[in-house]
């Protein structure tokens, strides 16, 4: 967006996996349609996606993920996150964003905390069926909260009051793929297998031998597309070559939304982006949640699609070649089963989620301006010379008006007619305006949507 320096800037903060970057990408596109510049703050993992993210600039900020209860590890993580907060604070002093939007995961903590310290409006988005640890930490501090599913923060009325369901933003490629009708039954049976943006070894170990157990007549109709890790490529390709089944096996598919749309059945992990894309496009799935996630978010995500009738959820401990073969045979036995599941999956898909989230960001940016923001924006970090924060504040004082210093603004909240101080208006205290999304009702989390777990894994947010 050359020559558009006068346009507002929104920073999106996302961890470097597809599960976080894909919805952030969808929001970036939606904001750019509203003449907003977008910068990305992320970690080193995002570099493998190249320049695909639609941001005018990408900033790498130090971050780390707490993956064990070891004291030394926890101290190291806190130190790295602290460095990240300082780096993000300096960055925001230079680029002065109008808002910061976080998409969950530990890499979003430094930029969102730094924005809070500078008085910049913050919005967090929770994609999963149960809030993650980073978003649980950030939720009380955020200006506004968006969720992919209802009832995510029902455990706290104050947090629920500033939360609203926007759905999970999906990339433009997914919205385009959603226009594709479910494949005809007389075509070769297209089976798509993937394990999130980083692959999953369990798929390489279980799916090929399961295919060997299928009836010969069903195998004769199969065509397989499977994502596999680099170290598993040879064994998976060899397994399908022995059975004579056409198979396209690669470590990564850049056209995955189109591959989903072309499939009769999908076998996958159940990261938030995977479930959102399956629901938006409307394809039936066999989902195998990552078992060792502390928050058990993938189990909750799969439960949402299963409850709608669009998926079969299998725990990894029960995911064997025999169980998978039985499920494939059962789902393909009746011609109407898979198309019905596809239609059911679409009932929870929200195609315009990115636009809804973009609208929330713009409304929050326009209505939230804290005294700290005025203080920081009124003075340049490079010098002691005052500068106008924006054109509206740069006007000359009117007759009878005295110019208020930033420090006076910081400590002088608006007063009521009685002269007693009252809190400045915020997302938690003001009444909803006409046309604004309504806050969620407080709701207790459903035990059926979660399971206990022990630790994180790189596949968790796939």
Both structure tokens of 359: 């609208």
| Whether residue 388 has pLDDT greater than 50 | no
* Tally of CA atoms within 13 A in the half-sphere of 56 that contains its CB: 19
Backbone angles phi, psi at 386, to 5 degrees: -70, 150
| Whether residue 398 has pLDDT greater than 80 | no
Structure-model confidence comparison of residues 447 and 200, the more confident one: 200
pLDDT score, position 198: 56
Q: Tell me, what DSSP letter sits at residue 195?
A: -
pLDDT score, position 36: 96
Highest mean pLDDT out of 42-46, 49-53, 93-97:
93-97
| Whether residue 344 has pLDDT greater than 90 | yes
What tens digit of pLDDT does each residue of 297-310 get? 999 999 999 999 99
- The lowest-confidence range among 110-114, 185-189, 342-346, 409-413 is 409-413
Structure-model confidence comparison of residues 114 and 403, the more confident one: 114
Q: Please give, one letter per residue, the 3-state secondary structure of 3-56.
A: CCCCCCEEEEECCCCHHHHHHHHHHHHHHHHCCCEEEEEECHHHHHHCCCCCCC
| Whether residue 190 has pLDDT greater than 50 | yes
* Tally of CA atoms within 13 A in the half-sphere of 456 that contains its CB: 14
**Domains within the chain, CATH numbers bracketed:** 9-170+351-367 (3.40.50.2000), 175-350 (3.40.50.2000), 371-377+388-425 (no CATH)
What tens digit of pLDDT does each residue of 206-260 get? 999 999 999 999 999 999 999 999 999 999 999 999 999 999 999 989 899 999 9
pLDDT score, position 2: 54
pLDDT score, position 436: 47
What does the DSSP assignment read for 41-110? EE-GGGGGGTT-S--SEEEE-------S--HHHHHHHHHHHHHHHHHHHHHHHHH--SEEEE-SSGGGHH
pLDDT score, position 69: 72
pLDDT score, position 1: 52
- Residue 181 CA to residue 102 CA, distance in Å, equals 34
pLDDT score, position 49: 61
- The lowest-confidence range among 163-172, 375-384, 416-425 is 416-425
Average pLDDT over residues 131-154: 93
% pLDDT > 90, the chain? 63
| Whether residue 445 has pLDDT greater than 50 | no
Calculate the average pLDDT of the chain.
82
pLDDT score, position 249: 97
Structure-model confidence comparison of residues 417 and 369, the more confident one: 369
pTM of the model: 0.75
- The lowest-confidence range among 53-62, 142-151, 295-304, 407-416 is 407-416
């Amino acid at each position: 967006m050359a020559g558009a320096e006068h346009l507002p800037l929104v920073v999106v903060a996302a961890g470097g996996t597809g599960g976080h970057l894909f919805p952030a990408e969808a929001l970036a596109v939606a904001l750019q349609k509203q003449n907003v510049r977008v910068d990305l703050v992320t970690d080193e993992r995002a570099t493998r996606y190249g320049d695909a993210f639609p941001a005018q600039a990408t900033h790498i900020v130090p971050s780390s993920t707490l993956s064990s209860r070891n004291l030394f590890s926890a101290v190291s993580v806190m130190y790295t996150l602290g460095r990240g907060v300082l780096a993000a604070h300096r960055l925001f002093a230079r680029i002065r964003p109008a808002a910061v939007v976080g998409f969950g995961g530990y890499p979003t903590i430094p930029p969102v905390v730094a924005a809070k310290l500078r008085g910049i409006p913050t919005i967090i988005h929770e994609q999963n069926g149960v809030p993650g640890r980073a978003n649980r930490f950030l939720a009380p501090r955020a200006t506004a909260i968006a969720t992919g599913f209802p009832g995510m923060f029902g455990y706290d009325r104050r947090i629920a009051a500033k939360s609203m369901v926007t759905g999970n933003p999906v990339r433009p490629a997914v919205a385009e793929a959603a226009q594709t009708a479910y494949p005809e039954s007389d075509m070769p049976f297209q089976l798509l297998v993937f394990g999130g943006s980083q692959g999953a070894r369990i798929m390489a170990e279980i799916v090929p031998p399961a295919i060997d157990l299928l009836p010969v007549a069903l195998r004769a109709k199969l065509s397989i597309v499977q994502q596999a890790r680099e170290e598993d490529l040879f064994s998976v390709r060899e397994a399908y070559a022995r059975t004579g089944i056409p198979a396209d096996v690669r470590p990564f598919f850049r056209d995955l939304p189109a591959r989903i749309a072309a499939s009769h059945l999908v076998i996958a992990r159940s990261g938030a982006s995977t479930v959102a894309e399956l629901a938006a496009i409307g394809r039936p799935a066999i989902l195998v949640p990552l078992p060792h996630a502390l928050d058990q978010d993938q189990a909750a995500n799969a439960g949402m699609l299963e409850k709608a009738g669009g998926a079969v959820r299998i725990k990894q401990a029960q995911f064997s070649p025999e169980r998978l073969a039985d499920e494939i045979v059962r789902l393909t036995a009746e011609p109407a089963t898979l198309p019905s599941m596809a239609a059911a999956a679409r009932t929870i898909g929200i195609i315009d989620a990115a636009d809804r989230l973009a609208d929330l960001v713009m409304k929050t940016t326009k209505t939230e301006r804290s005294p700290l923001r005025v203080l920081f924006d009124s003075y340049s970090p490079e010098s002691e010379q005052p500068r106008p924060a924006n054109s509206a504040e740069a006007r000359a004082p009117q007759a009878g008006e005295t110019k208020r210093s930033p420090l006076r603004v910081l400590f002088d909240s608006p007063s009521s007619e009685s002269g007693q101080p009252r809190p400045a208006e915020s997302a938690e205290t003001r009444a909803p305006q006409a046309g604004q999304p309504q806050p969620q009702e407080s709701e207790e989390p459903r035990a059926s949507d979660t399971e206990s777990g022990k630790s994180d894994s790189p596949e968790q947010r796939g």
